[in-house]
Structure 1
């Protein structure tokens, strides 16, 4: 008998009645041991999980998938029956893969402590023996490990426990739940590697909300159907509202779709969509053609209530997946096929509020609004002893707004390494040209850029720009990267590369250099140039005089007046200021390329 088998037999014997109570005590989690007053350190969390995995090696595996900026290992726990603890084994067994993550905002940490309890009850105590009959769970107990260890009592003023909480940003002061597309943080790069290794079918992201007070234990959010492949939209609708949340409420809880109030001072004015996009977890899952679910426990509920609520909602999610694993796998396959079929179609990349609200019932508390001599605004106070149902308008539904075309391929010249680096980080497949090639391409020409005044996540974002498309003949150098549009990564590539996409590399400021002319004219030289241009073009003269009359700021600026002429001259246009380096190819151009 091997040592491992002996250890497992002893553990099994130790858990047989009447010693079952002692077994449960042996696997009490640190949060349970404290009565949910505290949450364990990262080191204690990892130690506990490694001990648990050692007790059930056929059901649990602890792996390191990255290193934080401060040098801490980023761990993930794989949980499954029958030893299906690798991506290959999971796929061979036709088991959907669920990625459950906690602590992307480490002050919102109930997902970690609920996850420890779930793994224990699946692997060793026998309380949840069927949790993973037909699925594999990939569990990140703490995503932002440096933020988790930057702990203190004063980080979440809105929240009721635990005694100390982690910090919202990681050690480089980045919010990881805004970093999915731009992938600045080492943690995001590690996470993307994990995603590309496992290719999960469902992402569940655990948070704690801020906002109003109400009776709900948690609220939940799924991306609007217009943002999703049709098969994923259909699966999510049937899963969440149709099964997961009703089952969760039958467990004794109260849940609501996410509540983003239009006016935090007056909940009766209604709710709206909070505007998730690819920079967020569920928004990123959407552009990877996968289902996503955001869980927000309620900040003012005691920590024990929030942990147990998370435990139960994950149980409910897994029950739905287990009941029909083929449905989720089929939705993923169909979503990939849908994404690969979009060549020649425009795909929405921005969304607007549906102007027609629907009426919903909000289970809330009575509240008062008192004029405040401190803020000069209204001071809102809720009375949790008085429950009240409100009929309120909801503008949570979205409609497509700006769209972008999916070409036969995108071409990125090899010098644009910042773009190619992000393709690599996201696992987007590409080939390269083996030799220089002359082809006709579509290029976006970008004018009148406007940047945000304040930094956001380390960037001054490009807020607005005029986009015009031009067709031109160019020479693509050898080594040009070619990303095909007929693959499962097409929607991801579109959101990363297209100028219309709000989380594209262009919008995050990685291509700002294209807006900077490098050659300029001395004022005395441009003075002479302007006179020649005015003499040669009466329409230019009329436009100049009209602008002098209509724009006092322009008229008062010698620099702007000279720029008016220089920027309309070949001396400026030859610099190709505002030419997007990301090019679009049609099928004929793609077929003509010499590719490796």
Structure 2
């Protein structure tokens, strides 16, 4: 009898071990320095989805690689309709390999979903977890061992650029790639309450394995931003420290060593968490340190996600309530900040774990090189700046009007679930109208564009004729911040700055000097006030008086012959 019992127990243990081994990930089967390929990752999630009713994998839209984006969902209640899920549960979205040379999240997320399905870790009761296994599929298929020159492992990884060589973490406003379009579909389908984007850092050397970026709380909004800054982030830090994982804000010190202090990274809407914050989603970027062993980086990524899930599950009602309340602070006639800068007067001491740094003569170049001495670790307080202040505000309009001809912009608004109506008849409406006064443009290509910056406008109230079918976009809707950040031309990641309206910057008609000379004479003769302005400009502007071409051009641009479309921003603001 004892022999039978012993054999039965041995068989049970063996059977359990076989089942457990079945779900070992590629990373776990390897030497700790190997990461799963894209096909291996998708095959693994298919295995989990086939074997566990708590996991479902869905094919979503295409990416630039030609492969579809996948969405993997864990719900212990085995229900995957997000219309119902959002009524009483929080949703966390995990995004992996936006830069495919940074695969830590790929391997950590596979373990996380497996452990949740097997019951190795406690499943959340109030939170559904959604994962994009590999976001940059084209980059993941471009596997190599050399493109991350400063990174310690894994042995083989993907490439930063996608199938068309876009950096996907700069594409969330301009949406040049299919990847972004498919991400937007997923994001709005699930209405994520919390978003985590898994990365690997570069830059300085220090003792930490884990750094993080939280959505900049000032721009997130007073209600949700205060909660993130004073409750959620401190709780995550404390929970990680209980696991013996020391962590630091992303070490945003590229021009100097971090022991002198640094400021919070500001993720404008072109970045993933900058984009998701426009819809009142709390966002985090996990940035493991490139010089730490791959196995350690995977572990801390796993633990960060667990800590975020646990906090969200405990506080799901409050998070969902605060998201709704955060929307309420953005109302027509109120001000909204479209430009921020770090407030250097508000720093806090931060106990930083670093290495002493110095410069020594380079063995390669004729100069000196920076050197971090790992035999000399230190712990000391440094100044950290995480507060930002407003430098440019606008008054929120009641609505925007966009002529129907600007369909690329309209399509992006539609994909971001922006509500609208269309004029049923040709109509004259009093609006605030912008003209582009000035802007600067990059000298070299940046992510498929020649990006504008330092844009400024002049404005005036006028009655404008609009056509049947033109779009009226009310600001009182969930996507109000998305509208303000994209349609206000002076905002850093506006559609204007991303070249959507560049056709308005070029004159389509002109004049021949010898013909227009006679017209200019007549114009000045018939307009004494204009002639007085012209004479004053000649007296006060030395460059102008010595430039006959500029003088004639000035008269032309004050005349009825000058085309109204030139420098006219074609998005109008309804204030009343």
TM bracket, shorter-chain basis? over 0.9
Output the CA distance in 1 between the equivalents of 2:251 and 2:473: 39
Indicate the residue corresponding to 1:3 in structure 2: none
Equivalent of residue 301 in structure 1, options 289, 292, 303? 292
Shift of 1:467: 0.8
Which of 335, 345, 354 is equivalent to 2:343? Answer: 354
User: CA offsets per residue over residues 407-451 of structure 1, 9 Å max, x none?
Assistant: 111111111112111111212111111112221111111123332
Separation (CA, whole Å) in 1 of partners of 2:10 and 2:571? 63
Aligned pairs (5 A) from 1:48-447: 48-57=44-53, 59-92=54-87, 94-124=88-118, 126-128=119-121, 130-261=122-253, 263-264=255-256, 266-339=257-330, 342-356=331-345, 357-372=347-362, 378-447=368-437
CA shift for structure 1 position 176? 1.0
Give deviations 1:545-569, integer Å, cap 9, x for gaps: 433x2x4xx6776644542332233
Go from structure 1 to structure 2 and tell me whether the alpha carbon gap of 1:418 and 1:557 turns closer, same or farther (over 3 Å shift): farther
> Do the aligned partners of residues 196 and 459 (structure 1) sit closer, same or farther apart at CA in structure 2, a change above 3 Å counting?
same
Is the deviation greater in 243-252 or in 134-143?
Answer: 243-252
1:392 Cα deviation after fit: 2.5
Q: Is the 8 A contact 2:249 2:264 kept in 1?
A: no
CA RMSD of aligned residues (A): 2.2
| 2:212–2:284 CA contact under 8 A, matched in 1 | yes
- Please report the TM-score for the alignment, with normalisation by the length of structure 2: 0.93
Query: Matched residues in 2 for 1:377 and 1:441: separation?
Result: 59
Q: Tell me whether 330-339 or 403-412 shows the greater mean CA deviation.
A: 330-339
For 1:579-590, list aligned pairs within 5 A: 579-587=568-576
Provide the rounded CA distance (Å) in 1 between the counterparts of 2:10 and 2:39.
Answer: 27
What does 1:398-547 align with in structure 2 at a 5 Å threshold? Answer: 398-531=388-521, 536=528, 537-547=531-541
Counterparts of 2:111 and 2:510 in 1: how far apart (Å)?
65
Shift of residue 538, structure 1, vs aligned partner:
3.5
Contact kept, 8 Å, 1:438 with 1:476, in 2: the verdict is yes
CA distance in structure 2 between the partners assigned to 1:555 and 1:386 by the alignment: 66
Q: 1:44 aligns with which of 26, 30, 40?
A: 40
Distance 1:374 1:557, change over 3 A: farther
The alignment covers a number of residue pairs equal to 563
User: Given the superposition, is the C-alpha separation of residues 405 and 293 from structure 1 closer, same or farther in structure 2, using an over 3 Å criterion?
Assistant: same
1:452-489 Cα deviation digits (max 9, x unpaired): 21111111112233311111111221111111111111
Q: Which stretch shows the higher mean deviation, 427-436 or 138-147?
A: 427-436
Shift of 1:142: 0.6
Spell out, residue by residue over 1:379-415, the C-alpha distance to the aligned partner (whole angstroms, 9 max, x if none): 1111223211243222332111212222111111111
Inter-CA distance 495–213: structure 2 relative to 1 (3 Å threshold): same
Asked if the contact 1:526/1:565 (under 8 Å) is kept, the reply is: no
Deviations, residues 331-381 of structure 1 (Å, cap 9, x unaligned)? 222223334xx1111211110110313332221012221254855654111
How many angstroms does 1:95 deviate by? 0.9
- Structure 2 residue aligned with 1:577: 566
- Alignment check: 8 A CA contact 2:400 2:474 kept: yes
Stretch moving more, 533-542 or 413-422: 533-542
**1:544–1:390 distance in 2 versus 1, CA, 3 Å:** farther
- The SS at the match of 2:484 is helix
